[in-house]
């Protein structure tokens, strides 16, 4: 096929710039690899509230007799910050499991009422109770006289302990202002004006005694912070002041609710407090919170990725499924904190405590087997990661642009001067965008072009043309070499994308590569059009498409097009973690088996569909497969190359995992392709024999 290149210099210029970009990207990829392997620790975290709930379902419950026996030498049984049942479970958890961290949620009025720490009455309730004499005598004779006017619309909090009173009062003053929070006499009683719904959901900080007891048991503390409907600088300051009383440097904070603390107008102040206290933001995978991404972008060096198995899915699956999911999160996506949920029901007989400890240990064992350590995290601030510089981004961009022009040269005749002018133009655009602060937009666009271009061009460049009449003595070996040559060119594009998307925001999952879905559709469209029209008709693209559109459609063509479209749609829906699609028969078991055997599960669309169809198309072209149908085989085969690019476009996945998965895909694809070839030959012989 005529290349349409006006000067041969264009070809050599493309090769030279690609080689330079390859070296630059390889250096960036190595820096990323060092960063990803800098800290191999993984924390196992369990919620204190869930531990407490589980402990009451166990056989660790203390009876009045055992409590008296425990404190028989004391006149008074001391108040327990941590209930004895929960404390016994925590000691057992520390002794028999590798759980490193306990997650503590903010107290609310609801939780404190349930723990018997305070009582809440609405003013109207107090008036009515006093009228009918149902309030205890102490209140009737003493407290009621201290309140000048009981207001029916207000709430009155009777708090048992002074320390709890002071903490609740400080949070209410920060939330409502001093005018709306009034102390009744010298008692631990507060009068507050608010609606019942808002009052009960306000975060009231953390008990210092509870946290100190957890630390004394040997656990690290992770905290949840709630946002406020009346977010102000005072509320943020009070919450972080409470955190400084209980947390050490490098502690992790997770924000609860639909929006993070400080959203929408105090995010800068939250950022200042996080950095000032060296707290890390726990970024939960696949969750959406208002303001989260804005804060995360300003805290790039203070991000820890967390996997929290959604409770609505957790309760529907077995323990083995949960174990596999947690291990996969750390192994394949570099997650450093696993937020474990215990099982409150079990499918076997025995102790619920032993069942969950065994479950936690299964996860810990799986984490260790993949080369990671179960321990508290070290600070990532000690490692000076260097993403791609502006010059490196520019060199990689030029390589992708000139490759794109090389691709266009297949369809439109380009001159060397025209190519050089295009490069100069794009360099100018890059510098303008850099000055305006839009480098990320440039990087996303160029990376999208690369993700579309390289798998498409790999197939077009390497597939034999109609005029090629090479006699292959070893057709399968030639086909394998053909596959590896296409994969090499595709991996070059993947490496360039790795170099472009090297910013730590991509590595931490704060920003996502927006071209992932587009890079699935467009290459398949280009491959389909190119091989359907065939190279000699590409120059008459509009005319041929118009003639095809007006021609009557054959049933077999219609069915094949419909099948291809359906396959692509299913492929898109099933890719990624943001859509759910029901697994096919035995698919889950098959995936689990592959993962257990091969460490990382290769992509089934690569080795079961993509590579085998590329092999079949190459081996049987012009014999059993007509050129008129090669578009169908290359359409399905191209999925393998696109999937390889896609693996490296998920930047939060460690680069070695993506590389290993790609190697598995090609090796298994060659084996499966060989099996398909044998089956096809046997089927052809069978039909020839009986026809």
The 3-class secondary structure across 413-469, one letter per residue, is: CECHHHHHHHHHHHHHHHHHHHHHCCHHHHHHHHHHHHHHHHHHHHHHHHCCCCCCC
Residues 610-631, mean pLDDT to the nearest whole number:
87
pLDDT at 467 exceeding the cut of 60: yes
Lowest mean pLDDT: which of 161-170, 268-277, 412-421, 668-677? 412-421
pLDDT on residue 176: 87
pLDDT at 5: 46
Overall average pLDDT of the 623-629 stretch: 82
Q: How far is CA 274 from the centre of its chain?
A: 22
pLDDT at 378 over 80: no
Q: How far apart, in Å, are the Cα atoms of 624 and each of 612, 618, 674? A: 15, 11, 16
| pLDDT tens digits, one per residue of 539-560 | 555 555 555 555 555 665 556 6
Q: What is the mean pLDDT of residues 73-77?
A: 53
Q: β-strand 155-159 against 189-192: which pairing, if any?
A: antiparallel
H helices of 439-554, where?
A: 439-462, 475-500, 504-507, 518-533, 541-550
Q: What does the pLDDT average to over 148-163?
A: 81
Residue 461 confidence (pLDDT): 86
C-alpha span between 664 and 603 (Å, rounded)? 9
Q: Read off the pLDDT band of 643 (50, 70, 90).
A: very high
pLDDT in tens, 279-314: 999 999 888 888 888 899 888 888 899 999 877 677
Task: Using DSSP, state whether 256 is helix, strand or coil.
Answer: strand
Using CA atoms, how far apart are residues 415 and 421, in angstroms rounded to an integer? 10
Categorize the per-residue pLDDT at 2 as very low, low, confident or very high, splitting at 50, 70 and 90. Answer: very low
Question: Across the chain, which distance is largest between two alpha carbons, in Å?
Answer: 108
Pairwise CA distance, residues 587 & 167, whole Å: 53
Q: Mean of the per-residue pLDDT values for the chain? A: 83
pLDDT score, position 61? 57
Q: DSSP assignment, residue 377?
A: P
pLDDT at residue 111 in the model: 87
Mean pLDDT of 28-51: 91
Per-residue confidence (pLDDT) for residue 4, from 0 to 100: 45
What confidence score (pLDDT) does residue 560 get?
61
What's the pLDDT at 561?
62
Q: Are strands 155-159 and 41-47 parallel, antiparallel or unpaired?
A: unpaired
User: How many whole angstroms separate alpha carbon 498 and alpha carbon 480?
Assistant: 26
CB 3 within 8 A of CB 535: no
Average pLDDT over residues 222-240: 89
Residue 1 is predicted with a pLDDT of 40
Answer left, alpha or beta for residue 507, where phi above 0 means left and psi between -120 and 50 means alpha: alpha
173 pLDDT above the threshold of 50: yes
Given pLDDT bands bounded at 50, 70 and 90, which one contains residue 349? confident
Q: How far is the C-alpha of 282 from the C-alpha of 92, rounded, in Å?
A: 27
pLDDT in the model for residue 124: 79
Choose the weakest-confidence range: 348-357, 570-579, 600-609: 570-579
- pLDDT at res. 95: 92
pLDDT bin (cut points 50, 70, 90) of residue 214 is very high
Give me the pLDDT at residue 267, please.
Answer: 92
pLDDT score recorded for residue 579: 47
User: Would you say residue 452 has pLDDT above 50?
Assistant: yes
Identify any residues that bridge with 284 across adjacent strands, giving them in sequence order.
Answer: 306
pLDDT at 142: 53
pLDDT at 600 over 80: yes
pLDDT at 332 over 50: yes
Per-residue confidence band for 199, with pLDDT thresholds at 50, 70 and 90:
confident
Residue 509 and residue 285 in contact, taking contact as beta carbons nearer than 8 Å: yes
Per-residue pLDDT, averaged over 575-583, amounts to: 51
Q: What's the CATH code, domain 41-106+205-382?
A: 3.20.20.370
pLDDT tier for residue 428 given thresholds of 50, 70 and 90: very high
> Considering the entire predicted model, what is its pTM?
0.83
Please say whether the beta carbons of 131 and 144 come within 8 A: no
Share of the chain above pLDDT 70, in %: 81
Selected residue with higher pLDDT from 348 and 612: 612
C-alpha span between 634 and 639 (Å, rounded) = 9
* pLDDT beyond 50 at 92: yes
Question: What pLDDT score does 414 carry?
Answer: 75
Q: Find all residues with CB under 8 Å of 655, minimum gap 6, and list them.
A: 29, 32, 33, 36, 498, 648
Q: Is the pLDDT of residue 562 over 80?
A: no
As a residue count, the chain comes to: 691
Domain ranges of the chain: 9-37+384-689, 41-106+205-382, 112-201
Looking at residue 573, its pLDDT comes to 56
pLDDT over 80 at 358, yes or no: yes
For residue 101, pLDDT over 50 is answered with yes
Contact present, 520 and 452 (Cβ < 8 Å): no
Residue 270's pLDDT is 93
Q: Could you tell me the sign of the dihedral formed by the alpha carbons of 377, 382, 387, 392, in that order?
A: negative
Partner residues linked to 119 by β-bridges: 158
Of residues 443 and 6, the one with the higher pLDDT is: 443
What is the distance between the alpha carbons of residues 410 and 405, in angstroms, rounded to a whole number? Answer: 9
């Amino acid at each position: 096929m005529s290349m349409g290149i006006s000067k041969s210099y264009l070809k050599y210029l493309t090769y030279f710039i690609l080689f330079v970009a390859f070296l630059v990207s390889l250096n960036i990829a190595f820096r990323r690899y060092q960063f990803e392997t800098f800290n191999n620790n993984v924390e196992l975290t369990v919620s204190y509230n869930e531990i407490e709930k589980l402990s009451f379902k166990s056989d660790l419950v203390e009876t009045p007799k055992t409590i008296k026996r425990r404190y028989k030498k004391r006149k008074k049984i001391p108040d327990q910050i941590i209930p004895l049942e929960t404390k016994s479970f925590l000691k057992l958890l520390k002794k028999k499991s590798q759980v490193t961290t306990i997650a503590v949620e903010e107290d609310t009025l609801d939780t404190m009422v349930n723990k018997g720490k305070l009582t809440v009455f609405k003013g109207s309730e107090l008036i009515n109770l006093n009228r009918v004499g149902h309030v205890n005598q102490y209140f009737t004779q003493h407290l009621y006289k201290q309140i000048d006017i009981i207001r029916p619309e207000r709430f009155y909090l009777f708090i048992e302990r002074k320390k709890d009173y002071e903490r609740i009062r400080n949070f209410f003053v920060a939330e409502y202002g001093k005018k709306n929070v009034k102390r009744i006499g010298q008692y631990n009683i507060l009068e507050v004006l608010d609606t019942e719904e808002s009052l009960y959901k306000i975060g009231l900080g953390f008990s210092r005694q509870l946290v100190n007891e957890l630390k004394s048991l040997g656990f690290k503390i992770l905290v949840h912070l709630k946002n406020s409907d009346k977010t102000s600088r005072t509320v943020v300051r009070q919450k972080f002041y409470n955190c400084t009383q209980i947390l050490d440097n490098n502690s992790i904070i997770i924000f609860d609710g639909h929006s993070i603390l400080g959203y929408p107008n105090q995010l800068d102040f939250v950022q200042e407090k996080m950095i000032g206290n060296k707290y890390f933001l726990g970024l939960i995978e696949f969750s959406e919170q208002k303001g989260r991404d804005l804060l995360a972008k300003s805290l790039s060096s203070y991000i820890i990725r967390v996997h929290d198995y959604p409770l609505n899915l957790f309760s529907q699956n077995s323990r083995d499924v949960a174990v596999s999911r947690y291990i996969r999160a750390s192994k394949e996506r570099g997650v450093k904190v696993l937020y474990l949920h215990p099982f409150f029901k079990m499918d076997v007989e025995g102790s619920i405590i032993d069942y969950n400890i065994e479950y936690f240990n299964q996860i810990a064992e799986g984490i260790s087997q993949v080369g990671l350590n179960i321990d508290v995290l070290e600070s990532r601030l000690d490692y000076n990661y260097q993403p791609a510089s502006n010059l490196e981004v520019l060199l990689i961009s030029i390589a992708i642009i000139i490759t794109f022009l090389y691709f266009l040269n297949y369809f439109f005749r380009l001159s060397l001067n025209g190519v050089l002018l295009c490069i100069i133009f794009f360099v100018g655009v890059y510098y303008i965008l850099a000055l305006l602060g839009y480098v990320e937009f440039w990087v996303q666009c160029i990376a999208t072009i690369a993700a579309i271009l390289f798998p498409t061009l790999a197939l077009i460049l390497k597939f034999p043309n109609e005029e090629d009449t090479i006699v292959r003595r070893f057709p399968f070996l030639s086909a394998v070499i053909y596959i590896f040559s296409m994969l090499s060119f595709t991996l070059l594009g993947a490496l360039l994308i790795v170099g472009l998307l090297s910013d730590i925001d991509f590595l931490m999952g704060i920003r996502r590569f927006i071209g992932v879905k587009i890079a699935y559709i467009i290459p398949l469209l280009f491959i389909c059009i190119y091989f359907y029209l065939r190279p000699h008709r590409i120059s008459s693209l509009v005319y041929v498409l118009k003639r095809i559109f007006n021609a009557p459609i054959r049933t077999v063509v219609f069915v094949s097009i419909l099948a291809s479209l359906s396959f692509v749609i299913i492929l898109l829906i099933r890719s990624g973690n943001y859509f759910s699609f029901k697994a096919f028969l035995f698919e889950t078991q098959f995936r689990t088996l592959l993962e257990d055997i091969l460490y990382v599960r290769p992509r089934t669309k690569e080795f079961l569909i993509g590579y085998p169809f590329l092999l079949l198309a190459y081996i049987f072209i012009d014999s059993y497969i007509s050129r008129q149908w090669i578009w169908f085989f290359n359409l399905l085969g191209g999925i393998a190359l696109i999937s390889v690019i896609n693996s490296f476009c998920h930047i939060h996945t460690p680069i070695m995992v993506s590389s290993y998965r790609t190697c598995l895909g090609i090796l298994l694809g060659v084996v499966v392709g060989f099996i398909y070839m044998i089956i096809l030959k046997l089927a052809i012989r069978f039909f020839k024999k009986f026809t």
